[in-house]
């Protein structure tokens, strides 16, 4: 069954069972009106649960569809369910952690095969089984425009890239993840031969190093960057030019959304720092999660000092916490939020102001940057919170559940509802 057919079935189901819950909670001038649209009952099968434990239920990027494996009766294999409808051929084994959606939420891929050691693996793409290999490595990669697809496979002792079903040259020494450019016209990956590593770009091998890895295209597709090592020296390669040498260079090299800036994490001794457009920043014990604003003018990241974590924005350090994550800029780049934890307390830090918020995750600004919403986990249940106003609590989330703004006053997400924990699109209308 093609994805489009399965989605059509899901739409019919949605139209048949959609229900609007006009109840809302009010605080101040903000009122939330909730519409719940169940799209599928989630049945994983007791056999699968006994074999592998809890099953991963995966939300599409647009949070309007879900996919999960379903075990049939003993000896009948498994299938992938898309919005409650059988989507794949019957399979002897299933890697639910490999379920991969395309960016446009219209295509699906995953790895299947018997779980026994030495069994062969195959990729199921758009519901169709591809060629079998001895191993298939993660990640499975769709191009940003969702039109192209690639993965890494092993045949015997040699690894190769499979791009749009075409096998590239194989290598005995190993191979790295594949990257597409934004337009889906170019691709690159690292490979090893004769104890040297190099980047293969559009099928052409580049210069050889002791190590070369994590190729990344600039959003405009004009530049390619990666990390490399020769001897004791590590450096970034940007558009073919070797940058400053360091003891360590992390990956990936990060281009700004407008392609005008480039940053990476480098190290001297036990100290790490960000190199932004060739300029070294403040040194820390650890740096993670380089995050640009949508217009590329601002940069944030997590940094640790004295075993405490802080968020650095435009070079300015925030307060120290035990942990910090979910770094989020507003669409206009002027506002910034993240989630932090100190002891047993969790905080939502918005524009530099810390607000105690139990279970806060996944902050998301509205398209006009005026509102902030997030998900709140409490007692094993979850609610949507907008401008401090919470919806009722729901029964659970999916892997990939997030808040998707449809307009400045409307958003939706995918949650599990009711005693049967159905997959349900929860839409929130905001009024004052």
Given a cut of 80, whether residue 7 has pLDDT beyond it is no
Query: Residue 327: what pLDDT?
Result: 98
State the pLDDT at residue 118.
65
| C-alpha dihedral, 162 to 166 to 170 to 175, nearest 10° | -20
Lowest mean pLDDT, pick from 28-32, 41-45, 85-89, 228-232: 41-45
What pLDDT sits at residue 94?
74
**What does each C-alpha distance from 50 to 57, 78, 111 come to in angstroms?**
16, 14, 20
DSSP 94-143: B-GGG-EE-TTSS-EEEEE--SSTT--EEEEETTEEEEEESEEEEEEEE-
Q: Is residue 262 part of a domain?
A: no
Q: Is the pLDDT at 12 greater than 60, yes or no?
A: no
pLDDT range class, residue 4, cuts 50, 70, 90: very low
Q: What is the pLDDT of residue 281?
A: 97
Rounded Cα–Cα distance for residues 65 and 67 (Å): 7
Mean pLDDT of the chain: 89
46 occurs within a structural domain: no
Following DSSP, what letter does each residue of 368-421 receive, concatenated? TS--EEEEEEETTEEEEEETTEE---BSB--BT---EEEETTEEEEEEEETTTT
Q: What sign does the CA torsion over 160, 100, 184, 294 have? A: negative
> Quick check: 28 pLDDT over 70?
no
Summarize pLDDT for 95-117 with one digit per residue, the tens.
788 999 999 999 999 998 865 66
Query: pLDDT of 50-59, one tens digit each?
Result: 445 567 899 9
Cα distance between residue 320 and residue 311, in whole Å: 8
Domain of residue 202 covers 134-208
pLDDT over 90 for what percent of the chain?
Answer: 78
pLDDT band at 76 (very low <50, low <70, confident <90, very high): low
> Among 222, 185, 188, 182, which Cα is nearest to 205's?
188
pLDDT at 321 over 80: yes
- Tell me how far apart the alpha carbons of residues 257 and 292 are, in angstroms, rounded to a whole number: 7
Q: Which one is predicted more confidently, 114 or 155?
A: 155
Q: Which residues contact 49 (CB under 8 A, 6 or more apart)?
A: 55, 71
Q: Which residue has better confidence, 73 or 180?
A: 180
Closest to 138 measured CA to CA, from 126, 156, 124, 150: 150
Kindly report, residue by residue over 377-416, the tens digit of the pLDDT: 998 899 999 999 999 999 999 999 999 999 999 999 999 9
Whether residue 42 lies inside any domain: the answer is: no
The residue that leads in pLDDT, 8 or 130, is: 130
C-alpha span between 385 and 408 (Å, rounded): 15
Structure tokens that stand for 221 in this block: 């597709």
82 pLDDT above the threshold of 70: yes
**Do the beta carbons of residue 139 and residue 102 sit within 8 Å?**
no
Residue 194: per-residue pLDDT: 93
Q: Which residues of 23-39 are buried (b: 16+ CB within 10 A; e: fewer)?
A: ebeeeeebebbbbbbbb
Distance CA 285, CA 28 (A): 44
Whether residue 11 lies inside any domain: the answer is: no
Average pLDDT of the residues in 145-154? 97
Give the confidence band of 75 by pLDDT, cuts at 50, 70, 90. Answer: low
* 38 falls within a domain: no
147: in domain: yes
Q: How many domains does the chain have?
A: 1
Contact 262, 254 (CB under 8 A): yes
User: How is the beta sheet containing 187-193 ordered, strand by strand?
Assistant: 179-180, 187-193, 196-201, 204-205
Q: How much is the pTM?
A: 0.88
Count of CB atoms situated within 10 Å of the CB of 235 = 19
Query: 164 lies in a domain?
Result: yes
> Is the model's pLDDT at 322 over the cut of 90?
yes
Q: For 331-340, what is the mean pLDDT?
A: 98
Sole residue written with tokens 């070797």: 242
Pair 68, 54: CB distance under 8 Å: no
- What sign does the dihedral 355-357-363-365 (CA atoms) show? negative
Query: Is 268 or 17 the better-scoring residue by pLDDT?
Result: 268
Q: Which two tokens stand for residue 429?
A: 């209308």
Residue 237: inside a domain: no
Query: Where does residue 116 rank: exposed (0-12), middle (13-18), buried (19+ CB within 10 A)?
Result: exposed
Distance, in Å, from the CA atom of 88 to the CA atom of 68, rounded to the nearest integer, reads 11
Number of helices and strands in the chain (H, E) = 2, 43
């Amino acid at each position: 069954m093609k994805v489009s057919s399965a989605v059509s079935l899901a739409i019919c189901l949605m139209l048949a069972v959609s229900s609007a819950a006009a109840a809302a909670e009010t605080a101040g001038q903000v009122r939330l009106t909730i519409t719940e649209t169940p799209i599928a009952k989630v049945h994983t099968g007791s056999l699968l649960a006994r074999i592998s434990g809890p099953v991963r239920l995966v939300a599409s990027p647009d949070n309007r569809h879900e996919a999960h494996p379903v075990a049939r009766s003993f000896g009948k294999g498994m299938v992938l369910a898309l919005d409650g409808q059988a989507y794949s051929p019957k399979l002897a084994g299933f890697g639910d952690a490999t379920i991969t959606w395309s960016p446009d939420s219209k295509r699906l891929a995953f790895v299947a095969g018997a779980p026994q050691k030495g069994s062969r693996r195959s990729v199921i793409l758009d519901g169709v089984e591809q060629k079998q290999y001895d191993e298939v490595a993660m990640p499975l990669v769709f191009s940003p425009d969702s039109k192209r697809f690639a993965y890494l496979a092993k045949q015997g002792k040699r690894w190769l890239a499979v791009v749009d079903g075409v096998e590239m040259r194989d290598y005995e020494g190993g191979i790295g993840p594949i990257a597409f450019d934004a337009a889906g016209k170019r691709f690159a990956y690292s490979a090893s031969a004769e104890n040297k590593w190099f980047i293969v770009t559009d099928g052409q091998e580049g210069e050889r190093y002791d190590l070369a890895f994590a190729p990344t295209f600039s959003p405009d597709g004009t530049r390619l960057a990666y990390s490399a090592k020769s001897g004791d020296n590590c450096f970034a390669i940007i558009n073919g030019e070797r940058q400053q040498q360091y003891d360590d260079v992390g990956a990936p090299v990060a281009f700004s959304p407008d392609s005008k800036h480039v940053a990476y994490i480098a190290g001297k001794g036990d100290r790490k720092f960000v190199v932004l457009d060739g300029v070294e920043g403040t040194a820390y014990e650890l740096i993670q999660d380089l995050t640009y604003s949508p217009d590329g003018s601002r940069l944030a990241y997590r940094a640790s000092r004295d075993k405490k974590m802080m968020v650095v924005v435009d070079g300015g350090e925030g307060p120290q916490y035990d942990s910090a994550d979910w770094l989020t800029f507003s669409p206009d780049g002027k506002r910034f939020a993240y989630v932090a934890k100190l002891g047993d307390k969790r905080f939502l830090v918005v524009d530099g102001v810390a607000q105690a918020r139990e279970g806060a995750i996944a902050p998301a600004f509205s398209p006009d940057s005026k509102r902030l919403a997030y998900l709140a986990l409490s007692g094993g249940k979850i609610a949507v919170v907008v401008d401090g106003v919470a919806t009722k609590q729901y029964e659970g989330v999916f892997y990939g559940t997030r808040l998707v703004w449809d307009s400045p006053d409307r958003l939706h997400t995918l949650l599990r509802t009711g005693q049967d924990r159905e997959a349900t699109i929860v839409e929130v209308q905001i009024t004052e």
